[in-house]
Amino acid sequence: MLENDRSRSATHQSYAVLRDRILNGELPGGTKIVEEKIASELGFSRTPIRESIRKLEYEGLIINKRVVKPTEKDLRNNFQMRILLEGYAAQCAASFLREQDLQALYECVEIGRKGTNEEIMDANERFHEIIVRASNNAVMIDTIDRMQSLIYLFRKTVVLNQRPHLIDEHEQIYEAIKARNGEKAADLMKSHLQADLDFCLHIIG
Amino acid sequence: MLENDRSRSATHQSYAVLRDRILNGELPGGTKIVEEKIASELGFSRTPIRESIRKLEYEGLIINKRVVKPTEKDLRNNFQMRILLEGYAAQCAASFLREQDLQALYECVEIGRKGTNEEIMDANERFHEIIVRASNNAVMIDTIDRMQSLIYLFRKTVVLNQRPHLIDEHEQIYEAIKARNGEKAADLMKSHLQADLDFCLHIIG
DNA sequence: TTTTTAATTTTTGTATACATTTTTAATAAA
DNA sequence: TTTATTAAAAATGTATACAAAAATTAAAAA
């Protein structure tokens, strides 16, 4: 651990706490966020709280001083973006991914089959992250990163654990990238994300 | 005019002024941004200035307390995103754009041929905006919007006025959308943006 | 001269107080 | 009862002061 919380700024600390509370449902969608209230609760002044709220607004987790309540349409919008961007990233991965990253990708698949629930969750995230990085496009990486929290939030409310075939699909994508077949990798990634979206939508029915 | 400047918040005013100064080159890339200095210059306290600086950081116009100096790679990254997103938006436009918007689109082409330089610039922006809106995806609209300022900044430094064929390409895109040919519209939009990027890159050599 | 170290200055981070705006509640009119 | 109007309160926006951190400069050592 490089830095403990005391060493970080009040802004950073309060941001991390607030974000956490929103993502784990402690501050459910629709909750009014009042600067003074949060400030006294966390033991900081309003100034750093204000700043972390702005950050969360930027991330889409707070809108109009309330915790966001993502709609089905928000979910669709975010996934549509991911389909476009990660489809492209998968194509890049097929062309440019190094042996080392390819191996890391395979490890994610393996953990997906054998790991504990927590490990699986992490490995799935990492799988996508490796591919997104292969785009070598900082704007893209950043954009997808920002979208994650909203998607995560939605997932939480859906209590999504494990979708059937998810790991199989990851493995197919991995195989296409390994075979340097960019078009196939992109197509597989797109349908993988589409299936993910459909599963989410199905559950909230 | 719905509100004059005095009616807007200090944060909004200072944000608008700073953004303007960055985009028009008054604050060139690399300029150190010091809160206190800007504050006394604009006649506000540091508090609203801080906030507007954060906003500009989110927008990518300020990095590390300095005005951004976009690199060739930044330009490529932004355009690659636009190619993906606006290509998709053009496809949506072909399927869903209403007669009214279609007409507005055509007006942009007409102004592109007959208008003054300023009118042409505006019309070109509007052309893309109408199509992006057709995606009906708030996340996408927002993302593209944020990317505009950096692209604009780059353009400014390149002193880009009018690229050959730009309006012809717009017209072709318009025709494809009017003919409800989504695939063609998407392809044309992609090559249009690619040509735009190439032109920028060519000028900066 | 170059490199370190310490001192100084500048700049940012945070707390607090007050002003302005927005929201809520209460009262009066329809 | 519903709708307007106004008074109260709550919350946000802004200014200012001070503390902490970062950057700069000056002095000392290599």
Q: Which residues pair with B29 in a beta bridge?
A: none
Task: Count the domains in chain B.
Answer: 2
Asked if residue B175 and residue B80 are part of one domain, the reply reads yes
Q: How far is B102 from B113, CA to CA, in rounded Å?
A: 17
A42/B200: higher pLDDT: A42
Q: How far is A106 from B188, CA to CA, in rounded Å?
A: 38
Asked if residue B88 and residue B46 are part of one domain, the reply reads no
pLDDT digits (tens, 9 = 90+) for B107-133: 999 999 999 888 888 899 999 999 999
Q: Does B6 score more than 60 pLDDT?
A: no
Rounded distance in angstroms from the CA atom of residue B107 to the C1' atom of nucleotide C30:
51
The end-to-end CA distance of chain A, in Å, is: 42
**Contact status of A191 with chain B (Cβ, < 8 Å):** no
Q: Which chain A residue lies closest to B77 (C-alpha atoms)?
A: A137
Largest CA distance in chain B: 56
Angle, CA of B126, B131 and B136, to the nearest 5°: 120
Virtual torsion, Cα B191, B196, B197, B200, nearest 10 deg = 160
Asked if residue B142 and residue B61 are part of one domain, the reply reads no
Q: How far is A105 from A115, CA to CA, in rounded Å?
A: 15
Question: Of B67, B84, B104, which residue constitutes the final position of a domain?
Answer: B67
What CATH number should be reported for the domain holding residue B200?
A: 1.20.120.530
Asked if residue B199 and residue B123 are part of one domain, the reply reads yes
Q: Packing angle between helix A46-59 and helix A35-42, nearest 10 degrees?
A: 120
**Contact status of B74 with chain A (Cβ, < 8 Å):** yes
| Closest partner CB to B81 (pick from A78, A139, A147) | A139
**Contact status of B51 with chain A (Cβ, < 8 Å):** yes
Which nucleotide's C1' atom has the smallest distance to the CA of A38?
D11
Q: How far is B140 from A17, CA to CA, in rounded Å?
A: 28
Task: Using a 7 Å cut-off to protein CB atoms, list the covered nucleotides of chain D.
Answer: 10-17
Asked if residue A145 and residue A114 are part of one domain, the reply reads yes
Which nucleotide's C1' atom has the smallest distance to the CA of B49?
D14
Rounded distance in angstroms from the CA atom of residue A4 to the C1' atom of nucleotide C7:
30
Contact A55, A15 (CB under 8 A): yes
Asked if residue B58 and residue B18 are part of one domain, the reply reads yes
Asked if residue A120 and residue A48 are part of one domain, the reply reads no
pLDDT digits (tens, 9 = 90+) for A113-164: 999 888 888 899 999 999 999 999 999 999 999 999 998 888 765 545 678 8
**Contact status of A140 with chain B (Cβ, < 8 Å):** yes
Asked if residue B99 and residue B174 are part of one domain, the reply reads yes
Asked if residue A143 and residue A128 are part of one domain, the reply reads yes
List A residues 150-189 in contact with B (Cβ-Cβ < 8 A).
Answer: none
Q: Does B5 score more than 70 pLDDT?
A: no
User: CB less than 7 Å from strand D: which protein residues?
Assistant: A 33-37, 46-47, 50, 65; B 9-11, 44-48, 51
Asked if residue A153 and residue A59 are part of one domain, the reply reads no
pLDDT band per the 50, 70, 90 thresholds, residue A4: very low
**Contact status of A204 with chain B (Cβ, < 8 Å):** no
Contact B54, A51 (CB under 8 A): yes
Mean pLDDT of B127-149: 96
**Nearest alpha carbon to residue B193 among B170, B159, B160:** B170
Rounded distance in angstroms from the CA atom of residue B177 to the C1' atom of nucleotide C23:
47
| Closest partner CB to A137 (pick from B51, B80, B140) | B80
pLDDT digits (tens, 9 = 90+) for B33-59: 999 999 999 999 999 999 999 999 999
Question: 3-class SS at B23?
Answer: helix
**Contact status of A141 with chain B (Cβ, < 8 Å):** no
Rounded distance in angstroms from the CA atom of residue A174 to the C1' atom of nucleotide D14:
54
* Contact between chains at B81 and A51 (C-beta distance less than 8 A): no
Containing structural domain, residue B94: 72-204
What CATH number should be reported for the domain holding residue A54?
A: 1.10.10.10
Tokens 């991330």 belong to residue: A59
Give residue B147's pLDDT: 93
Largest CA distance in chain A: 56
